[in-house]
Amino acid sequence: MSNILCTIHVRVRHCIALLTHVQSTFNTLVLDDGFVKRPTGPRLGIEVDEGYVRERSQDEVNWYNPVWHHDDGRLAEW
């Protein structure tokens, strides 16, 4: 399953981590009855391709946070 771009949400005890566009082999993620078991190794138990992340960080991004307003013109939160 190498070269996969995905978005995963991982919730482990007292923290919630959001990883986006992570390349990994995912061979450390173990499924148990439809759920991913908590990794036993250090950190989240995945290996991030740092070279790929650095390469993509140089790409120009043409996306900005949307700005929403309430009907009365006040700035609205996400």
**What confidence tier does 74 reach under pLDDT thresholds 50, 70, 90?**
very high
Q: Residue 33: left if φ>0, alpha if ψ -120 to 50, beta else—which one?
A: left
Residue 72 lies in a domain: no
Q: Which domain holds residue 45?
A: 7-60
The terminus-to-terminus CA distance of the chain in angstroms comes to 34
Q: Is residue 35 part of a domain?
A: yes
Higher pLDDT, 66 or 75: 75
pLDDT tens for each residue of 2-14: 333 344 444 443 3
Percent of the chain whose predicted confidence (pLDDT) is above 70: 55
Q: Which residue has the higher pLDDT, 15 or 28?
A: 28
Q: Total structural domains in the chain?
A: 1
**Is residue 66 domain-resident?**
no
Residue 4 is predicted with a pLDDT of 38
